[in-house]
Amino acid sequence: MPWIVLLISAVLEAVWATALGLSQGFSRPSPTIVFLIALALSMIGLGWAMKHIPIGTAYAVWVGLGAVLTVTWAMLTGAEVFSAGKAIFIGGIVAAVIGLKLVKSPRVIANPVTDTPPDASSLQREPLE
């Protein structure tokens, strides 16, 4: 479930980034409202996902997919010119994001009673799913 929330948050990042551009410096109300709503929901989802996915991985995936979706949308709508070079590098970002999902790394287990990280002397490690 954390990965699904993270992916939805990345989509919302592309929505707010696109709406930000369309708002023309917050002078147009509709895109500004879309920006604010998508921004809030994207951050809430990212924050929740970071409770379950390591922060570096979660942030890299969120930024990477958000950027890919934003530039892809811009190219599809004609706001940005398509080029083979851009497509290759966008593919590289997608490959890196997939790689981050596939790489296993240990995760620190929080104390289930207090939901706080353990002190350094009692670290437990569990592989990510």
**pLDDT tens-digit map of 64-106:** 999 999 999 999 999 999 999 999 999 999 999 899 888 876 6
Residue 118, pLDDT score: 55
Closest by CA to 100, choosing from 48, 75, 65, 73, is 65
Residue 106: beta bridge partners?
Answer: 127
Axis crossing angle, helix 55-77 with helix 29-49, rounded to the nearest 10? 150
**Which spans in the chain are helix H?**
2-22, 29-49, 55-77, 84-102
**What token pair was written down for 84?**
């083979």
**pLDDT tens-digit map of 97-108:** 899 888 876 665
Given a cut of 60, whether residue 126 has pLDDT beyond it is no
**What token pair was written down for 111?**
């104390």
Place of tokens 């930000």: 20
pTM as predicted: 0.75
**pLDDT tens-digit map of 13-65:** 999 999 999 999 999 999 999 999 999 999 999 999 999 999 989 999 999 99
